[in-house]
């Protein structure tokens, strides 16, 4: 367990069917019932980060606050395989597909109580006037997305340092958020980091199109209350040889879960 931070989750979690909805959300099903509450959490977190008071516990608490807002705005969350996060000693590389803003907001509340963790993020996020102070406080691995060779060197260098300190690293191998999973766009950066650092890999799959991607405002797309949020974590993998077999295993973990979840949704 991470520094005494309690977790509300066992190996699995499902939003209770009797979870109360916000009255305004029941009356007016607009996306802004969620996003105004989300913005309130973000601005509170930013204020704490600017004051140097945004620590791991605050990060978990703000993430869980967003999770509860999602549930009370009609979101149904289903988590699987959290015990797989509890098993390995030391830092691990968590490799996940990236569908929406939901996973970046909810992963901290799910993972950080179990093990210290941070993200690989793009430069624009740490310099963002709103999100920047919060993200910088999390000591992320920052990449510019302009020079792949330099980005790789940064990830391998700082990633190895973090993993050696017992801090796990979340990697989204896709260049951008994608509702449709395209294996060819899922690079092997996370596998390369784990191989170089001698760390294990935990595959993760998410289906988070409940929280749609917007056009002008990327984080504020449509809220699709009919679409459940699914997240699953697989057993740890040890990278062997060139890591191709483990990369393929992660790809198959994501694809298989997305297929399964699509089937479940179509039956509802």
pLDDT tens profile 174-200: 878 888 899 999 999 999 999 999 999
Among 69, 84, 111, CA closest to 201: 84
For the segment 215-235, the average pLDDT, to the nearest whole number, is: 90
pLDDT(201) > 90: yes
- Tokens in use for 44? 């509170």
Share of the chain above pLDDT 90, in %: 86
Burial bucket for residue 126 (CB in 10 Å: 0-12, 13-18, 19+): middle
**pLDDT score of 264:** 84
Least confident among 104-108, 160-164, 263-267: 263-267
Q: What is the pLDDT of residues 25-64, one digit of tens each?
A: 999 989 999 999 999 999 999 999 999 999 999 999 999 9
Q: Distance between CA atoms of 43 and 124, rounded to whole angstroms?
A: 18
Q: What average pLDDT is seen over the chain?
A: 94
> Quick one: tokens of 139?
């000591």
Sign of the CA dihedral running 12, 15, 17, 20: positive
Could you tell me which of 201, 205, 235 has the C-alpha nearest to residue 93?
201
Q: What is the largest CA-CA distance in the chain?
A: 57
For the chain, the residue count is 268
The whole-number pLDDT of residue 3 equals 63
Residue 4 reports pLDDT greater than 90: no
Sequence-ordered alpha helix ranges (H) in the chain: 23-27, 32-50, 56-72, 83-86, 101-111, 123-126, 132-136, 148-164, 189-197, 244-267
Enter the tokens of residue 207. Answer: 């289906």
- The β-bridge partners of 13 are 79
Torsion over CA: 101, 103, 104, 108 (sign): positive
pLDDT of residue 6: 87
What does the pLDDT read at residue 77?
Answer: 98
For 96, residues 6+ apart whose C-beta sits below 8 A from its C-beta are 103, 107, 170, 171, 172, 203, 204, 205, 206, 254
Residue 216 has pLDDT above 80, yes or no: no
> Exposed, middle or buried, 128 (CB in 10 Å: 0-12/13-18/19+)?
middle
Lowest-confidence region among 91-95, 111-115, 216-220: 216-220
Q: For 121-172, what is each residue's pLDDT tens digit?
A: 999 999 999 999 999 999 999 998 788 899 999 999 999 999 999 999 999 9
């Amino acid at each position: 367990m991470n520094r005494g931070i309690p977790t509300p989750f066992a190996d699995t979690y499902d939003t209770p069917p009797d979870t109360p909805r916000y009255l305004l959300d029941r009356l007016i099903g607009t996306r802004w019932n969620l996003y105004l509450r989300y913005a309130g959490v973000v601005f509170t977190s930013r204020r704490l980060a600017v004051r140097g008071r945004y620590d791991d516990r605050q990060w978990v608490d703000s993430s869980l606050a967003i999770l509860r807002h999602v549930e009370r705005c009609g979101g149904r969350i289903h988590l699987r395989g959290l015990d797989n996060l509890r098993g390995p000693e030391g830092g691990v590389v968590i490799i996940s597909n990236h569908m929406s803003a939901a996973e970046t907001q909810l992963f901290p509340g799910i993972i950080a109580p179990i093990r210290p963790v941070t993200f690989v993020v793009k430069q624009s996020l740490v310099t963002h006037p709103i999100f920047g102070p919060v993200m910088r406080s999390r000591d992320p691995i920052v990449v510019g997305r302009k020079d792949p060779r330099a980005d790789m060197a940064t990830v391998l260098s700082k990633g190895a340092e973090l993993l050696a300190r017992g801090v796990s690293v979340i990697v989204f191998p896709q260049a951008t958020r994608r509702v449709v999973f395209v294996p060819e766009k899922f690079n092997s950066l996370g596998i390369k980091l784990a191989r170089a650092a001698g760390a294990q890999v935990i595959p993760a799959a998410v289906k988070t199109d409940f929280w749609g991607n917007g056009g002008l405002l990327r984080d504020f797309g449509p809220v699709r209350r009919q679409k459940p949020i699914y997240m699953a974590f697989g057993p740890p993998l040890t990278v062997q040889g060139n890591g191709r077999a483990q990369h393929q295993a992660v790809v198959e973990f994501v694809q298989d879960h997305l297929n399964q979840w699509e089937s479940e949704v179509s039956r509802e």
